Amino acid sequence: MSYAAAPAPNGTDRTNAPSHVAIIMDGNGRWAAARGLPRTEGHRRGVEALRRVVRAAGELGVRTLTIFSFSSENWSRPASEIGDLFGLLRRFIRNDLATLHRDGVRVRVIGERDGLAPDICGLLGEAEELTRGNTKMTLVVAFNYGSRQEIANAAQRLAQEVADGKRDPASITPDTIGRYLDAPDIPDPDLIIRTSGEQRLSNFLMWQAAYSELVFVPIHWPDFDGAALEGAIAEYNRRERRFGGLATKTAAS
Ligand code: IPE
Ligand code: IPE
Ligand code: MG
């Protein structure tokens, strides 16, 4: 198994890949239910899809891939399912970290560490530490992540600086808030993909998604693969990003 970037598949122009793709990996439970399998089997197959997609993203020239692995709202699921999801994260890091590192993938983690088991915090820290110098691709793992909490944390830190007399409230701009989020050095996602047909953000990267293109695909996450990623990128390339300006044709005329 390798995550290394191989030559792009025929017909794919590497330069057309968005720099930062973020994925809401949804539909593991429905994938399993459709096959009469327990939800946990859907999650297990979801990890296999993740391996495929990390490799495919590298091959397509994606520089940053962010994956939504566990949301702050997923604590409302049964304890047994939460245990399964945490077990899969443990196994993913233990089994795949060496390969990710060998293939030049830098791992970053966003979300709350408070409330996570010490061994999970240790593994996440180890993954970040080992891979911090890698430059082929960045894999941002959103674990125990919620956008509202992330923004609230930024507000708390800024409020503390004001309370301590270190900051003028008027100095707080959108850029300032961006610098106080969990991964201030990572550019905003160009493309956000959600699998399994739901059309919502579910508290994922709400600040960073201001001008992301959103692509919703009907495929359940365990069935997602490199071809599906290419399809979503092709849809992205058909969009025109205007950032509040005028359409290119209009502007040129
Ligand atoms: C995504 O699949 C995995 C996580 C949210 C952790 P789901 O478990 O949400 O699957 P569905 O949406 O119930 O099918
Ligand atoms: C979003 O999926 C969270 C992850 C993919 C980790 P959910 O399945 O939790 O979202 P909702 O509940 O359908 O909005
Ligand atoms: Mg879901």
pLDDT tens per residue across span 146-156: 999 999 999 99
Q: Ligand 3 mean position to 168 CA, how many Å?
A: 42
- Nearest Cα residue to atom 13 of ligand 1: 29
Binding site membership of 202 for ligand 1 (Cβ less than 6 Å): no
Binding site membership of 71 for ligand 2 (Cβ less than 6 Å): yes
Q: What is the pLDDT of residues 154-164, one digit of tens each?
A: 999 999 999 99
Q: Which ligand is nearest to the CA of 144?
A: 2
Task: Give the amino acid at 24.
Answer: I
Binding site membership of 198 for ligand 2 (Cβ less than 6 Å): yes
Q: What is the mean pLDDT of residues 27-56?
A: 98
Catalytic residue set: 26, 74
pLDDT of residue 23 exceeding 60, the answer is yes
Cβ atoms within 10 Å, residue 39: 19
pLDDT of residue 203 exceeding 60, the answer is yes
Gap between the Cα atoms of 200 and 66, Å rounded: 17
> pTM above 0.85?
yes
**Burial class, 111, CB count within 10 angstroms (exposed 0-12 / middle 13-18 / buried 19+):** buried
Backbone angles phi, psi at 187, to 5 degrees: -65, 160
Domain 17-145+189-236 bears CATH identifier 3.30.565.10: no
Q: Ligand 3 mean position to 115 CA, how many Å?
A: 22
Q: Ligand 2 mean position to 76 CA, how many Å?
A: 11
Q: What is the mean pLDDT of residues 212-235?
A: 98
Percent of the chain with pLDDT over 90: 91
Q: Ligand 1 mean position to 53 CA, how many Å?
A: 17
Residue 146: closest CA among 196, 181, 121, 186: 181
Site of tokens 């962010």 = 66
Q: Which ligand is nearest to the CA of 78?
A: 1
Q: What is the mean pLDDT of residues 240-252?
A: 83
Binding site membership of 85 for ligand 1 (Cβ less than 6 Å): yes
- 3-class SS at 219? coil
What residues does each domain of the chain span? 17-145+189-236
pLDDT of residue 129 exceeding 60, the answer is yes
Residue 204: closest CA among 43, 74, 24, 21: 24
Q: Which ligand is nearest to the CA of 30?
A: 1
Binding site membership of 66 for ligand 2 (Cβ less than 6 Å): no
